[in-house]
């Protein structure tokens, strides 16, 4: 796992107040991290994917911090537990989190390793009305034994517009907080359920 110097500095510079609020994240559990200006205030913010404890069967959690701007301290804004599938233990199943140029966060999960059904899912997360919402959903899949069995879906959750296998999708747009998001919501729009 590669992390930039800015991410490492941000991780180790977390305030005691924030660490107690997040119950001290073991650095070994950090799967992926990214910095960006999520709230567009000119200060670097932090987003992380954090693996569950070893004895848990939950999925990875998303932690998002905002800089207070005055002191540079990062304050925990959102925790979305049991949210992103994937594991560090298997190549081809490691999820990632990246900063997009527009200030949004891209969270990618995928299976490129096991079984004939291979897939990739992307959530675009944006800061709206003082919280983090899922703004976009993308899902692609293919069958390694049946090259004609593929799917491709991309839609804007906020507007409800997009495409599934080249056919326009038009569903009710909605604001869904990241912590309330369930993947079956995206799958049902894409017709994969």
Whole-structure pTM value:
0.85
Q: What is the pLDDT of residues 27-52, one digit of tens each?
A: 999 999 999 999 999 999 999 999 99
Of 147 and 34, the one with more pLDDT: 34
Is the pLDDT assigned to residue 12 strictly greater than 70? no
Of 146 and 6, the one with more pLDDT: 146
Q: Is beta strand 96-99 parallel, antiparallel or unpaired with respect to 105-111?
A: antiparallel
Q: What is the pLDDT of residues 103-117, one digit of tens each?
A: 999 999 999 888 888
Is the pLDDT assigned to residue 54 strictly greater than 70? yes
The whole-angstrom separation of Cα 191 and Cα 186 is 9
Sign, CA dihedral 47-49-54-56, equals positive
pLDDT of amino acid 152: 94
């Amino acid at each position: 796992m590669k992390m930039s110097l800015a991410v490492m500095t941000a991780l180790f510079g977390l305030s005691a107040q924030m660490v107690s609020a997040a119950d001290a994240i073991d650095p070994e559990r950090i799967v992926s991290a990214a910095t960006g200006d999520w709230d567009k205030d000119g200060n670097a913010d932090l987003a992380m994917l954090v693996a569950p404890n070893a004895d848990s069967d939950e999925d990875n959690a998303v932690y998002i911090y905002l800089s207070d701007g005055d002191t540079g301290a990062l304050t925990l804004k959102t925790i979305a537990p049991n949210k992103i599938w994937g594991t560090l233990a298997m190549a081809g199943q490691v999820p990632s989190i990246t900063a997009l140029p527009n200030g949004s966060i891209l969270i990618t999960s995928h299976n490129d390793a096991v079984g004939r059904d291979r897939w990739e899912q992307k959530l675009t997360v944006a800061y709206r009305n003082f919280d983090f919402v899922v703004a976009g959903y993308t899902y692609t899949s293919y069958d390694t034994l049946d090259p004609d069995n593929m799917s491709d879906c991309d839609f804007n959750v906020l507007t409800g517009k997009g495409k599934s296998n080249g056919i326009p999708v038009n569903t009710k747009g909605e604001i869904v907080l990241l912590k309330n998001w369930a993947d079956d919501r995206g799958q049902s729009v894409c017709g994969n359920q």
